[in-house]
Structure 1
């Protein structure tokens, strides 16, 4: 129980502070430095590039003991970035964001791996995974509300000082987070062999399907609300709360009733994403826009736990870090390209018509997801004697 509590508290602090950076840095770039949409997209991509390098070329190639040392050091450096952000100039904003991306590339994959090794049986581990993703959503629900309150009295730059408390708690908890025991000589990063598993491809396509919608919301969701509906900064973060509240509720539900049928849940998630994006595109006012965000929160709540669960069902403990690192690396590549593509599209077509491109990407990845689901091992797809999430 202690290991679970440590995992959940650490997860909450890491994701709340990480999300604050993802949503606040674009606004600082826009409001303080008059950045264009393309520059905002590139800035978000630079963070992802740095995260990718850390995840694929560092984290995936270290054994458990060395990863733990680097992990604990990264939490300390991560804390220091929150003390730097309030005082940066334009160049400093980019350099600090690059550093943050690298540190998160060390921190977050190890937290995901920890969530999948707590528990003696598969059903218990899947409940812990669901609780882990529940903590992610809880942080994304409460974090924007906290930031909205702070912004009533302080500036965007000041927010980083308040959230430095979150990163300080991470330093205290980092030595107690569980790491997997690995066999000597097992650390080998071979993406070709991992890609051959249908379960891994399902995990990738699940997340890839939702990558552009989520990149659009984090990088341009606030700007969209400000430009089209004249929302202020405080209201922007309340809108994010609508999105993350439904995500939170979804993950709370699957922590009580674990996902049984991965195929059914994955395709249902894709359909909800398309519906939410269509409503966003046609929304004439901020109220319908808020409804679209709430709908999109449901697949956001399902995407990540579905991917982790299908990986955990089809891998051993000493393979888990490699699988999670490969998964994170590929998703980071998509995360690098997504904001750039969205930024260019926003400049050429406008923010509203940019959503059409996002809808097309969802349809394309849903087709790839469907093809991989047909090849999925029954062990990874369906668990017997477990309450069904959707049916």
Structure 2
């Protein structure tokens, strides 16, 4: 085989991997978002859980993710990953059963599954190829897939809530999830079944830079995931399905931002600065109880949502090369994300119990404070 034929064969191989990483990221993020954003709606309208307690539904999923992420996930095993995809499909089916106890069980099962799936997929996306430049490209494609999945999930949520076919949506997603099982069964290679915990990794400076970069990403999405659709109804006087379409706009802007940095290799310091300014501006606009200002605020917040997660992932990918270390680091980074996802809705829920306005004001204070931290972060 000539050098040109070898190069072409390698290109075809990585084209399949790039496409599959994009598709699997899309599917997994769509399911993740649908569970996190539809479960509060189901809890409110099917089981009549009070508005101020809805953060508990997301927290149940996120606590389960954390438990799983720092137990079975650290084994870094193909069998455990495949079983996690299977249990995720089962959890989607269980959500269709109109029983409060089974509803909570399905959320726990989904969380335990995601605790393995999300860090493993991130690690694989940045490690599957032998060439570092290919792995960097895979990681960027993976992040684009996450954005696309978020966009697709929002469209599906808007349609399913409008037409009343949420059960059908959940069953279809459980079947589509089979593609993830197929791809990772053939492409996931684990070199060891030993747990790995390293203080050197846990206290690495770049890991905590990546965590702090994520804060202005985490706080707005934690707020939006739980409260946007419902605040659209109770504060901005829109219907719930339109609230999902505002979320769709937010995610479209995020996707376009990630595609832009993939296409044009944007300067990372500029990404950080733009994110700070736009997060502050977008957060402030949400205080105004007007749908137009809500739309503008959502668009402004969507840009840093698209910039900050890839920036955080790139910091980790450049610093850590060993696959087992990288899996641990991705788990710690995701743990940081999910702690914020748990705490922020609960804090905001306390103030929403006083007044919806105070709940939004609390979000603004948290979001602006986290954005100002970016001024003090040095990427190199």
TM-score normalised by the chain length of structure 2: 0.89
Question: CA offset at residue 168 of structure 1?
Answer: 2.9
1:312-333 Cα offsets, whole Å, 9 max, x none, are 1111133211111111122222
> Is 1:35 aligned to 2:70, yes or no?
no
Partner in structure 2 of residue 286 of structure 1: 291
Q: Distance in 2 between matches of 1:360 and 1:237?
A: 24
SS in 1 for 2:155: helix
Q: Distance in 2 between matches of 1:258 and 1:281?
A: 34
Match of 1:225 among 217, 227, 232: 232
RMSD: 2.1
SS in 2 for 1:13: helix
* Structure number with higher relative contact order (C-alpha < 8 Å, ≥ 6 residues apart): 1
Partner in structure 2 of residue 26 of structure 1: 40
Q: Distance in 2 between matches of 1:77 and 1:3?
A: 24
> Is 1:336 aligned to 2:342, yes or no?
yes
1:146-189 Cα offsets, whole Å, 9 max, x none, are 3322333334444322322332332332313444646x86x422
Q: Distance in 1 between matches of 2:124 and 2:181?
A: 16
Question: CA offset at residue 119 of structure 1?
Answer: 4.1
> Is 1:255 aligned to 2:262, yes or no?
yes
Match of 1:353 among 358, 369, 378: 358
Question: In the comparison of the two structures, how many residue pairs are matched?
Answer: 365
Say whether the 8 Å CA contact 1:17–1:166 is kept in structure 2: no
Q: Distance in 1 between matches of 2:371 and 2:163?
A: 44
Q: Distance in 2 between matches of 1:323 and 1:144?
A: 29
> Is 1:274 aligned to 2:280, yes or no?
yes
Match of 1:73 among 77, 83, 90: 83
The runs of 5 or more residues in structure 2 that have no matched partner are 1-13
Partner in structure 2 of residue 151 of structure 1: 161
The runs of 5 or more residues in structure 1 that have no matched partner are 379-391
Q: Which moved more, 1:121-130 or 1:239-248?
A: 121-130
> Is 1:207 aligned to 2:214, yes or no?
yes
TM-score normalised by the chain length of structure 1: 0.87
Question: CA offset at residue 81 of structure 1?
Answer: 1.3
- Flag the 1:360–1:193 CA change in 2: closer, same or farther, 3 A: farther
Partner in structure 2 of residue 320 of structure 1: 326
Question: CA offset at residue 222 of structure 1?
Answer: 0.3
Partner in structure 1 of residue 4 of structure 2: none
1:234-270 Cα offsets, whole Å, 9 max, x none, are 3222111101000010111122123443x33223212
Say whether the 8 Å CA contact 2:94–2:103 is kept in structure 1: no
Q: Distance in 1 between matches of 2:134 and 2:374?
A: 27
Q: Distance in 1 between matches of 2:190 and 2:317?
A: 13
1:200-256 Cα offsets, whole Å, 9 max, x none, are 111101112332211110000000101123323332221111010000101111221
Say whether the 8 Å CA contact 2:222–2:340 is kept in structure 1: no
Question: CA offset at residue 293 of structure 1?
Answer: 1.2
Partner in structure 2 of residue 301 of structure 1: 306
> Is 1:188 aligned to 2:196, yes or no?
yes
Question: CA offset at residue 195 of structure 1?
Answer: 4.4
Question: CA offset at residue 115 of structure 1?
Answer: 1.4
Q: Distance in 1 between matches of 2:183 and 2:258?
A: 23
Question: CA offset at residue 198 of structure 1?
Answer: 2.5
> Is 1:99 aligned to 2:104, yes or no?
no
Question: CA offset at residue 3 of structure 1?
Answer: 1.8
SS in 1 for 2:46: helix
1:119-152 Cα offsets, whole Å, 9 max, x none, are 4444433222111111111111122113322333
Q: Which moved more, 1:210-219 or 1:122-131?
A: 122-131
